[in-house]
Amino acid sequence: MQTTTRTNLRNLGFAMLGGTGVALMPLASALAEEETRYTGFYENATHVRDSAGLSKFRNTLQLNADRALEDRGAFRNIKFHGTFRGSYDGVYDLNSSEYGSGAGGAITLENSAAGNSVPHGGGLQLPYTFDPANNPNEGMLVLGERLHKTRGGVAFGVPVRPCDKDSRGCIDDYLDADSNDLRFPEFNERLDFIRELYMDFDHDLPNGDMVSWRVGKQQVIWGRTDLFRVLDVINPVDYSRNNIYDELEDIRIPMWIAKADWRMGAGEVFDDLNLSFVWNFDKFRPHNLGQCGTPNSILDAACFFRGMNNLWENGGTVANFAGASPAGGVATDFGPGQIGIRKAHMPSWSLSNTQFGIKLEGVYGDLGFSLNALTYRSQLPSLRGGVPGQNGFTGEVAPWPSLIAFDIHFPRVNLLGGSLDYYSQAIDTVFRFEVAHTSGEEFANTLQSRLFSESDVTRYVIGADKNVFIPFLNPGRAFLISGQLFGQHIHEHQEEKRAWGKAGMPDWEQNWIATLLFKGWWMNDRLSPQLLAAHDFRARATAIAPSVEYLFNDNLRIIAGANVKVGRGAREYDDCRSCNPWDPFTSAGQPEGYTLGLGGYEPLGRFRAGPIGMAQKEDELQLTLRYSF
Amino acid sequence: MKNNKNTFRLGVLTLALAAGCAQAADETVIEQSFQPYAKNKPSFAGLSAGMTINQGNVAQFKDILDPAFYGFIEKGWAELKVGETTSFDLHPNYVEATRQGMDKIQLGAKPGEIKGWVAGRPFPQEPDVNDPRAGEKLAWNYKYGYNWGDSAAIQPFYWKFRDMNSGKVERTIKFNFHFLNFTGRVNQDPKPAITPNPSDLFRGIYVNVLEPHDVRNTQLLIHRAQDDLKRDNSWLYLGFQRRVRRLATGQVTDAFLGSDLMIEDFEGYNGRISDMKWTYKGTRFMLMPFYNHNDLSLDSETHKDSEGYQVVAFGGQGGCFPNITWQLRKVYEVEAAPVDAGHPLAKRVHYMDAQTFTVPRTISYDRKGSLWKTFTIGQAHPDHHLPVNKGSGVSIDDSFSMIDVQAMHCTSGQFKGVVDAKLSPPEMFSVQHMRATGN
């Protein structure tokens, strides 16, 4: 029955696609009739990072093509749009010792029980250990070393060179970029140089309403929030370009989507009412978290993953592990297939793996609103334990409880949410509200034997925008002041105090991030300085990004800025060294699979430090030059 | 009994005569309001069509020039070519709507309140200097004027930011502007109002920025309520954000996209009547920028299209003055002083064209009372413009120049105004339209 249903759904999907294709055929034939309008830009973005030197030398060429077509039968407002983007980031050639083929080197790992450090491969050998010939001590960094010292915690070597130079730890189909993938990120098997390619058309309904279609590779944006993605979750995001700091328009990863807006317009009650259907029929793509060894790896997650996959594939030395207690531990050599990340389960294309959303949006006087529902695949990875691993002492392969051996999954997530905006005449301020409640998200959890658990999550943003004249600064142009408070609440949050520290879910049960934008304009808007700041309350980390934009003319724009982080950096959390998976060999007296909460910065502290805290050592000066045509 | 009958007949006759006289009086009001040049064309000693007023002869014409433009010519910044005074007949349906509304419309107790208006010019009577609210009535005539008819589009619309000293064009923004009246409609179906209209909107303005790249795809939607005391609702679609933001609309004195225009300056005045104290200063005959577009020497560079349409050329100091002709016209001088003491202006002086109730000249004074900006909106006759505009009865906004004399900077505007209902359908004035068309 299930198979039949799936087959029918698949056929329906193909039928819809086919129908769309048929509908577009006469339109496509009309393309030659009218002129295409081309626009575009060349941009150079050069960033210099404290202690690392050049961190970006990205040269982007983008071409946009637009063509409006004459009405065809029942179809009108027919338009075609394409955006094509190619970029070359020279940082991998110009600063290859930091980010390219020459990055990394030989490492030593802390061995706190002896009060020293040992080279990779020089730890305590388990009966089933690894062969350093398969995992040599070269081209590596110690996990997290750019942000913090090991300080008695877990650490291991992380290969940092592009995957064609060093394939260790490269996870197939997920984090496996070679040198050219990094240099030329759009030229890949997903044809990312075709950034957008879609057709718009409208047709009327018998009752006078109209339906607006957009079909093709596109970005679909929900919500009313800047910087944060509460409802704006349809497209995954490429954080490798500039962490969380680039405009979302430039870092959303466009997907092949069919969108239909049933535009009911004004009625007796609402000034505008619209029902939108979104079908993302593209093959699943996760966020691009960056790759270990590249300048932008949000949360440094890619290094964690690469190091863990290397441990699984080749084995390796882990700092302060054997006999670990608050007093210290012994650097330990694990064999392959014992701990680490085994593989990533990338969802293949199937109808059931496509994503579907509905949005009802309208305007009621001074109030705008939307109600949103979306079923999608999490674009963030979930590490699920329970992977059968080899007992380093006995050689037995089994799914040991609380063993730090994972597969990466992208679970199905269902979202319900809504948004509001309201203009208060009394104080001349616009308020924005956005909320999303999801089910199906998964979080690391050291209290669970598979080291993860599922939880409902509520995220929300309250924002206010106000234009204010400050006459002594600029009598003719108001300043924009925009503030937002983003909150996240994990409903099934678990945490316990154990003998050696807290254990459970490293993510905060509740956390808030506030942002403030202060922007002004001078010289007829050709000079525009701004200050953008974000503060993560629980991580106690702040990012401050002042910048000045100057337009030389209609074509040439320069933006000079800085990105500085202050506050607390790395945070500590239970690292599961005291989880006792291989009882009795790993026991400190606790039962099998029971953590005592011994922790350090790695690997789970990153979820408490957040993207700002984890980037504390990534202060930058940034210069962007764009020539538009 | 006979006497009674005679008395009755006399009464009926008196009433009929009174009604007839009233009708005749009303018709005279209509005639004078909409056809001020039917019987006599204005004249001024030494002024003739075809002549040029320049630095050498401007003193002779001081009485028919506003003080700001007189100063410009006196400094040699501009010359003014004189054309024949011509009638800019508004659409007969608008005139008829005015006729139907005669004597049914009253101001409310407070500025910004009006009762009984359906369509047409609300107060066609000559303003009375002894009427303390005469200025306010003229402001209503402007607000409910046939400015762009029931709907129209300016597509495209070029704004150039110019350094007035060097003449350098710093920036060129290319827009499409669309206007739609939800109420007071006299010509395009549905009449007199588009329904449903749950928020009781009077007018919608939709703007789409085409160039340059950094602001391309910016869209602006303004909903103006029938209730003048209510602020506009506005939304902005930013191309680089790909989403619609509701705007705080209180700061209508903010420079629009860095131009020399406040949002409040659009079309002469783009704010609430209740935001100003309006004072009628008198009726004058003045030289005003009214012309036949097709008779001008036009700008062949800025805009080219398959229709062969060209926009108005600019010259003079810094390229800030439209190369147009001016004609002697009947003008109401109205002063508008902001109610809000925090407003950057002390006052605007509007020179309203009596026949069309457009505002082709405005002078703005800063808080210190010094001349700050002057605004010229060139008015083109619809019968000498694009073929589609012929017979539309719309005085076509065709060129503008906003000069900031303190900053020696100006913004010039070059229009392709099209009065065609198909270009501004009601669905365009919805928030969803911005989302559906934005990219």
DSSP string, A242-310: BTB-S-HHHHB--EEEEEEEEE----SS-SEEEEEEEEE-SPP---B---TTSS--GGGHHHHHHHHHH
Q: How far is A274 from chain B (nearest CA, A)?
A: 7
With CB atoms and an 8 Å threshold, state whether A524 touches B250.
Answer: no
Query: How far does chain B reach from its first CA to its final CA, in angstroms?
Result: 84
| B70 part of a folded domain | no
B-proximal residues of A, 51-70, CB under 8 Å: 66
Q: What pLDDT was estimated at residue A476?
A: 80
Buried b (16+ CB within 10 A) or exposed e, B249-275: bbbbbbbbbbbbbbbbbbbbbbbbbbb
C-beta neighbour count of A247 within 10 angstroms: 15
Please report residues of B whose CB lies closer than 8 A to that of A210: 427
Q: How many domains does chain B fold into?
A: 1
Could you give the maximum distance between any two Cα atoms of chain B, in Å?
90
With CB atoms and an 8 Å threshold, state whether A525 touches B432.
Answer: no
Q: Does A33 touch chain B (CB under 8 A)?
A: no
Q: How far is B315 from chain A (nearest CA, A)?
A: 21
Selection from A205, A368, A203 nearest residue A271 by Cα: A368
Give the A:B interface size as CB pairs under 8 Å: 158
Residue type, A598: L
Range with the poorest average pLDDT among A16-20, A234-238, B45-49, B331-335: A16-20
- Supply A13's token pair: 């999907």
Please report residues of B whose CB lies closer than 8 A to that of A430: 245-248
Q: What pLDDT was estimated at residue A18?
A: 39
CATH code (residue B407): 2.50.20.10
Please report residues of A whose CB lies closer than 8 A to that of B201: 271
Which of the four pLDDT bands, split at 50, 70 and 90, describes residue A11? very low
Q: Give the helix/strand (H/E) hosting B21.
A: helix B2-34
Please report residues of B whose CB lies closer than 8 A to that of A274: 432, 435
Give the residue with greater pLDDT, A417 vs A36: A417
| B420 part of a folded domain | yes
With CB atoms and an 8 Å threshold, state whether B250 touches A425.
Answer: yes
Would the pLDDT of B5 be above 70? Answer: no
| B380 part of a folded domain | yes
Please report residues of B whose CB lies closer than 8 A to that of A365: 198-199, 233
With CB atoms and an 8 Å threshold, state whether B436 touches A212.
Answer: yes
Of A272, A430, A524, the CB nearest to B258: A524
Would the pLDDT of A422 be above 90? Answer: yes
| B261 part of a folded domain | yes
Please report residues of A whose CB lies closer than 8 A to that of B239: 249
Q: What pLDDT was estimated at residue B242?
A: 86
Q: Tell me the residue range of the domain where B237 lies.
A: 142-437
DSSP A562-621: EEEEEE-----EE-STTS-SSTTTT-SSSPTT-----EESTTTTHHHHHHHHTTTT--EE
Would the pLDDT of B230 be above 50? Answer: yes
B-proximal residues of A, 177-196, CB under 8 Å: 196
Query: How far does chain A reach from its first CA to its final CA, in angstroms?
Result: 57
| B362 part of a folded domain | yes
For chain A, the domains span: 94-182+287-628
Q: What pLDDT was estimated at residue B22?
A: 61
Give the residue with greater pLDDT, A331 vs B263: A331
Q: How far is B287 from chain A (nearest CA, A)?
A: 30
3-state secondary structure at position B74: helix
B-proximal residues of A, 436-465, CB under 8 Å: 465
Q: What pLDDT was estimated at residue A124?
A: 96
- The span from the CA of A332 to the CA of A320, in Å, is 7
B-proximal residues of A, 459-518, CB under 8 Å: 465-469, 471, 475-478
- How far, rounded to the nearest angstrom, does the alpha carbon of residue B379 sit from its chain's CA centroid? 9
Instruction: Say what percent of chain A tops pLDDT 90.
Output: 90
* pLDDT 10s digits, B339-353: 998 898 999 999 999
Please report residues of A whose CB lies closer than 8 A to that of B255: 476-477, 521, 524-525
Which whole-number Å values give the CA distances from B81 to A573, B52, B358, in the listed order? 81, 4, 20
Would the pLDDT of A13 be above 90? Answer: no
* pLDDT 10s digits, B395-435: 999 999 999 999 999 999 999 999 999 999 999 999 999 99
* pLDDT 10s digits, B238-294: 888 888 989 887 778 888 888 999 989 999 999 999 999 999 999 999 999 999 999
C-beta neighbour count of B307 within 10 angstroms: 11
Q: Does A519 touch chain B (CB under 8 A)?
A: no
Please report residues of A whose CB lies closer than 8 A to that of B158: none
Q: Give the helix/strand (H/E) hosting A488.
A: strand A474-490
Selection from A444, A403, A407 nearest residue A594 by Cα: A403
C-beta neighbour count of A548 within 10 angstroms: 12
Q: How far is B247 from chain A (nearest CA, A)?
A: 6
| B316 part of a folded domain | yes
Q: What pLDDT was estimated at residue B8?
A: 53
Q: Does A207 touch chain B (CB under 8 A)?
A: no
With CB atoms and an 8 Å threshold, state whether A475 touches B212.
Answer: no
Would the pLDDT of A31 be above 50? Answer: no
Kind of pairing, strands A116-119 and B233-238?
unpaired
Please report residues of A whose CB lies closer than 8 A to that of B432: 212, 261, 263, 265, 272, 274, 361
- Supply B34's token pair: 């909409």
With CB atoms and an 8 Å threshold, state whether B250 touches A432.
Answer: no
Query: Residue for token digits 């459970």?
Result: A504
Of A196, A226, A467, the CB nearest to B254: A467
Of A200, A266, A478, the CB nearest to B198: A266
Q: Does A525 touch chain B (CB under 8 A)?
A: yes
With CB atoms and an 8 Å threshold, state whether A365 touches B170.
Answer: no
Q: What pLDDT was estimated at residue B216?
A: 87
Please report residues of A whose CB lies closer than 8 A to that of B435: 261, 274
* pLDDT 10s digits, B354-380: 999 999 999 999 999 999 999 999 999
With CB atoms and an 8 Å threshold, state whether A266 touches B248.
Answer: no
* pLDDT 10s digits, A516-566: 999 999 999 999 999 999 999 999 999 999 999 999 999 999 999 999 999
With CB atoms and an 8 Å threshold, state whether A41 touches B212.
Answer: no
With CB atoms and an 8 Å threshold, state whether A200 touches B196.
Answer: no
Q: How far is B123 from chain A (nearest CA, A)?
A: 30
Q: Does A274 touch chain B (CB under 8 A)?
A: yes
With CB atoms and an 8 Å threshold, state whether B247 touches A430.
Answer: yes
Please report residues of A whose CB lies closer than 8 A to that of B251: 428, 467-469, 478
B-proximal residues of A, 537-596, CB under 8 Å: 551, 553-555, 557
Would the pLDDT of B3 be above 80? Answer: no
Q: What pLDDT was estimated at residue A19?
A: 38
Cis peptide before A381 (omega within 30 of 0): no
Selection from A303, A491, A454 nearest residue A378 by Cα: A454
Average pLDDT over residues A386-394: 97
Q: What pLDDT was estimated at residue A12?
A: 36
| B29 part of a folded domain | no
Selection from A329, A232, A338, A342 nearest residue A287 by Cα: A232
Would the pLDDT of A3 be above 70? Answer: no
- The span from the CA of B277 to the CA of A593, in Å, is 79
With CB atoms and an 8 Å threshold, state whether B214 touches A628.
Answer: yes
pTM: 0.88
Q: How far is B427 from chain A (nearest CA, A)?
A: 7
With CB atoms and an 8 Å threshold, state whether B214 touches A551.
Answer: yes
Kind of pairing, strands A405-409 and A340-344?
parallel
Please report residues of A whose CB lies closer than 8 A to that of B161: 524
Query: Residue for token digits 């441990």?
Result: A311
With CB atoms and an 8 Å threshold, state whether B248 touches A421.
Answer: no
Q: What pLDDT was estimated at residue A14?
A: 37
Which whole-number Å values give the CA distances from A193 to A64, A300, B354, in the listed order? 12, 26, 59
Which of the four pLDDT bands, split at 50, 70 and 90, describes residue B439? confident
Would the pLDDT of A10 be above 50? Answer: no
Q: How far is B212 from chain A (nearest CA, A)?
A: 6
The vertex-A416 CA angle with A511 and A423, nearest 5°, equals: 75
Q: How many residues does chain B have?
A: 439
Please report residues of A whose CB lies closer than 8 A to that of B260: 524
With CB atoms and an 8 Å threshold, state whether A421 touches B246.
Answer: yes
Average pLDDT over residues B59-70: 98
With CB atoms and an 8 Å threshold, state whether A365 touches B199.
Answer: yes
Question: ipTM > 0.90?
Answer: no
How many secondary structure helices (H) and strands (E) does chain A include?
7, 34
Selection from B138, B91, B147 nearest residue B114 by Cα: B138
Average pLDDT over residues A18-41: 54
Q: What pLDDT was estimated at residue A2?
A: 37
